[in-house]
Amino acid sequence: MSKRVREACESHGYFLLICDEIIPKDVRGDMFDGMKELFNLPEETKQQHICSKPYRGYNGKNSIIPLCQSFGMDVPLTASAEAFTNLMWPQGNTPFWYFINSFYYYTLYIY
């Protein structure tokens, strides 16, 4: 699978993964809702997620690609997902880190 993903990225610049049988619709829906909530946070809140590793941390809007934002993080095990959630929502957001972990564990079955 990884070879096919790489080839798609090299030849087309993207890939579309259809995983309806692997990741339940409600889990995908919860994850997308959580991502909307995350990316709707104020810019200064999102900028708190920093990392020295390439492609990790928050990459925000810029003049070259004004509509592009991304968050990069390592494997979202419970402790790191909870720490990230508490950084973004100091008052807490237990459903968010639960969704991250649930989605991650389903993706382990994609190969």
pLDDT one-digit tens code per residue, 24-79: 999 989 999 999 999 999 999 999 998 888 888 898 888 888 888 998 887 666 77
Query: Which pLDDT score is estimated for 40?
Result: 94
Q: For residue 86, is it within any domain?
A: yes
Q: How far apart are CA 84 and CA 73, in angstroms?
A: 9
Domain total in the chain? 1
Q: For residue 18, is it within any domain?
A: no
49-54 contacts: CB < 8 A, separation 24 or more? 49/73, 49/84, 49/87, 49/88
Q: For residue 64, is it within any domain?
A: yes
* Domain interval for residue 34: 24-107
Q: For residue 2, is it within any domain?
A: no
Q: Is the pTM of this model over 0.85?
A: no
Q: How far apart are CA 75 and CA 22, in angstroms?
A: 19
Helical residues (DSSP H) of 21-77, grouped into ranges: 25-39, 43-46
